[in-house]
Structure 1
Amino acid sequence: MLHEKLLDEARALEGEIVALRRAIHAEPELGLHTPKTRDKVRAALANLPLEWSEGPSTTGVVATLKGGAGDGPCVLLRGDMDALPMPEETGLDYASTVPGTMHACGHDTHTAMLAGAVRLLCARRDSLKGEVRFMFQPGEEGFHGAKFMLEDGLLGGEGTDNKLPDAAFALHVMPNAQHGVVAGRAGALMASADQFDITVTGRGGHAAMPHSALDPVPIACEIVTALQALVARQFDAHDPVIATVARIEAGTAHNIIADFATLRGTLRTLSSRHRDKLHAALTRLAEGIAAAHGAEARVTITPGFPVTLCDPRAVDLGEAVSHDLFGPGAFRRLDQPIMGAEDFSYVLEKVPGAMFFLGVAHEGADWRSCPAIHSPRMTVDETALPKGAALLAGCAVRFLEQGWA
């Protein structure tokens, strides 16, 4: 079978995949502008039959491979390139050389696996009908990089010379999931993520004379408590909602009542219906509680990533390819979504597709106890990376050959 050859070919590329991953890991970059990472990708894929395009908003690039066997559908494969603002404590020989910056979410592996998939697909270009677009994206860690690349027209669509892809696929490694196992689910895979800021304005004064002031602190505390009751009593438990107050600030000294208090936190939902409802309910609750005490509350909600919704057909395709490549039991359907967020959701709003998780815990280790993503001690078993490259390439080949059949 073609897919059996694909896995063998991917394993033959392991040295190149790992070398690229380590080079990116040692020089992590943040946000929308990752020029060193982009240049490493382009150098690793030089002299391949690719057309490259970039936009004005980011250092993201799209490489396009046109099949040599005629016209056909278009499939998008995505890998993200940015790191996190945190120190590394792995002690690896290729650990980050940039203080306070680390690839602790695995984007270095995502980029390297995608580059491996590029090589696999370029090697069979003559047999491909259609087109593959490889999306190397910065700014996933809260910077909306996928949204900017869409707006720049790098993926096609209105105002460009290209249509949007017909399907899209992405991988995310999980360092505390079983080595080599692929996981996914149809529908909501990951949550939307919005930020909120609430400022409660009262009237400052001496802490020994609270009756002559209007203390915003107990009002803020009441909002925190009421918010938890709101989530538990106004939202269906089968469509989960999370509202977390992560930071409270007020005052400058132990004997001063502050003029104002601020609350900051995150809102997570798995449906647009609950997302809109939660925004309105939070605003109503905070303003109402403050008004009841004669104070004012100003609520600001900053929209983040939407819900990551996976097309059932794409999940079926990924499961079939996983079985072809890795054998029975290689794919697991997740019972529940993950309440983290992912900006590949912007792509999936426009293009049917799916994201899958790939377990990269060290083979033979107790994977449940391995450091998770966003840990300064996170490591991956690099022998799993060829599997990720083969899976991405296999999804592209299967879709170009059979569509959603």
Structure 2
Amino acid sequence: MHTGTRFHRDLVRLRRTLHRIPELGLRLPRTQEAVLDALDGTGLELRTGEGLSSVTAVLRGSRPGPAVLLRADMDALPITEEGEGPFVSQHPGAMHACGHDMHTAMLVGAARLLREADPAGSVVFMFQPGEEGAGGAELMVREGVLEAAGERPVAAYALHVVASMLPSGLFVSRPGVVLGASDTMRLAFTGAGGHSAMPHTARSPVHAACAAANAVHTAVDAAVDPFDPVVATVTAVHAGEADNAVPARAEVTLSLRSYSAQARGRMCEAIERTARGIASAHGVEVEAGTDRGYPVTRNDPQETAFAAATVREVFGEDRYARLPRPLPASEDFAHVLDEVPGAYLSLGACPAGRDPATAAPNHSAGARFDEGVLSDGARLYAELALRRLT
């Protein structure tokens, strides 16, 4: 499967086009248009989403066979990009700080490679908006992406670049749990407002909110198996406006991460129980609500072994490493892997001359990615599909 200089230049050009026009959430009209333009003339069956700016493309080989799905996410983050250059974000407050522009260019490249390779069966290319919290993968599943080829895929694969931690060009993954679940919990404490000079005439929710924020870790540690880890992080505390008034309401927001359904449930129960006890002790009320985020991302062991073998055969033994433990991030590709066996891999894309240990990470305003891995990412996508359909 040939990926020459011209092929690589085309991917760089597309990636930079996308990097200039980052869009957020489920509505990505300019991004969608750029993808459709890039796929024009490939002969793929193209379909756009109804409730989101997705693109589903289907390549049908000349020989019969099953279907394989390849996913790339397309949305950006609400971050203002740092630095200058010829292709920095033209949209203040939006940036491709997680490398989704890289993924999109790679998947377009894979479509071109697979069109020439003519696989047996079909390949579904899933260009997905709304990975950064908007649940785009679940919406695409509801809109029928898994049935786009006429039958469900026998396997699904996704690839994600990493700006730090890994050396450029190294692919990593692991069987089983590879990414955690993410949830957001909000604790709303309600008391009675009053004058700050007479706090005894009010019922301040501020003290309860602060106590709850400080008690989270103790409550979770006492309730969850230490060998089934969780992460509970207080990310916001809001209360009051005037410096001489006791507010009637205080809110605490927590970001929760877990790696099993049991730990996920026990963590939420422990925090809510602790918050209720603290509220009662302070003479205020509390309401707890949890916004369920993405579930645990689980790799199929056989598909992960197949993906690892493919990396080693195509790129060399030193280009793949098994992760010793799951990563703490979360991914809505989990919704696809809950339906179809597959694998999620990460690819180091730390720019040359930067130390992966200190380079700006994904989701930071200074994140930078090595465009040199674009061709390898496209080729791996294509090789996974082609070999799985052989």
Task: Tell me the TM-score normalised to structure 1 length.
Answer: 0.93
Within the candidate set 109, 112, 124, 1:116 is matched to 109
C-alpha contact 1:10 1:387 (8 A) present in aligned 2: no
Within the candidate set 8, 28, 51, 2:45 is matched to 51
- Written as runs of structure 1 = structure 2, the 5 A alignment for 1:100-139 is 100-125=93-118, 128-139=119-130
Alignment correspondent of 2:66: 73
User: Counterparts of 1:229 and 1:242 in 2: how far apart (Å)?
Assistant: 12
Within the candidate set 138, 142, 150, 1:147 is matched to 138
SS at match of 2:83: coil
SS at match of 1:268: strand
2:76 alignment partner AA: A
1:199 alignment partner AA: A
The more displaced of 387-396 and 358-367 is 358-367
Alignment correspondent of 1:42: 36
SS at match of 1:347: helix
1:100 alignment partner AA: G
Structure 2 residue 310 is matched with structure 1 residue 321 = yes
1:237 alignment partner AA: P
Which blocks of at least 5 consecutive residues in structure 1 are unaligned?
1-5
SS at match of 2:318: coil
1:172 alignment partner AA: H
Within the candidate set 24, 27, 30, 2:24 is matched to 30
SS at match of 2:374: helix
Structure 2 residue 360 is matched with structure 1 residue 367 = no
C-alpha contact 2:223 2:270 (8 A) present in aligned 1: no
Structure 2 residue 291 is matched with structure 1 residue 298 = no
Alignment correspondent of 1:96: 89
Within the candidate set 161, 164, 169, 1:173 is matched to 161
2:273 alignment partner AA: R
Q: CA deviation at 1:86?
A: 1.1
C-alpha contact 1:62 1:155 (8 A) present in aligned 2: no
C-alpha contact 1:90 1:379 (8 A) present in aligned 2: no
User: Counterparts of 2:251 and 2:354 in 1: how far apart (Å)?
Assistant: 44
Within the candidate set 312, 320, 325, 1:331 is matched to 320
Q: CA deviation at 1:286?
A: 1.5
Deviations 1:228-275 (A, max 9, x none): 101212111221111111111111222211111111121110111211
Q: CA deviation at 1:364?
A: 4.9
2:59 alignment partner AA: L
1:368 alignment partner AA: A
Q: CA deviation at 1:11?
A: 5.5
Within the candidate set 260, 263, 279, 2:249 is matched to 260
1:296 alignment partner AA: E
Which blocks of at least 5 consecutive residues in structure 2 are unaligned?
none
C-alpha contact 2:299 2:341 (8 A) present in aligned 1: yes
C-alpha contact 1:186 1:315 (8 A) present in aligned 2: yes
SS at match of 1:21: helix
C-alpha contact 2:67 2:149 (8 A) present in aligned 1: no
2:305 alignment partner AA: D
- Written as runs of structure 1 = structure 2, the 5 A alignment for 1:98-247 is 98-125=91-118, 128-156=119-147, 162-176=150-164, 177-247=166-236
SS at match of 1:221: helix
C-alpha contact 2:76 2:132 (8 A) present in aligned 1: yes
Deviations 1:84-142 (A, max 9, x none): 111111312111111111111000000000001101100011xx211110000001111
Q: How many percent of aligned residue pairs carry the same amino acid?
A: 42
Structure 2 residue 73 is matched with structure 1 residue 84 = no
Report the number of matched residues.
Answer: 389
Alignment correspondent of 1:3: none
User: Counterparts of 1:309 and 1:112 in 2: how far apart (Å)?
Assistant: 25
Alignment correspondent of 2:13: 19
User: Counterparts of 2:4 and 2:157 in 1: how far apart (Å)?
Assistant: 18
1:339 alignment partner AA: P
User: Counterparts of 1:278 and 1:292 in 2: how far apart (Å)?
Assistant: 21
Describe the shift of the 1:59–1:10 C-alpha distance in structure 2 as closer, same or farther (beyond 3 A): farther
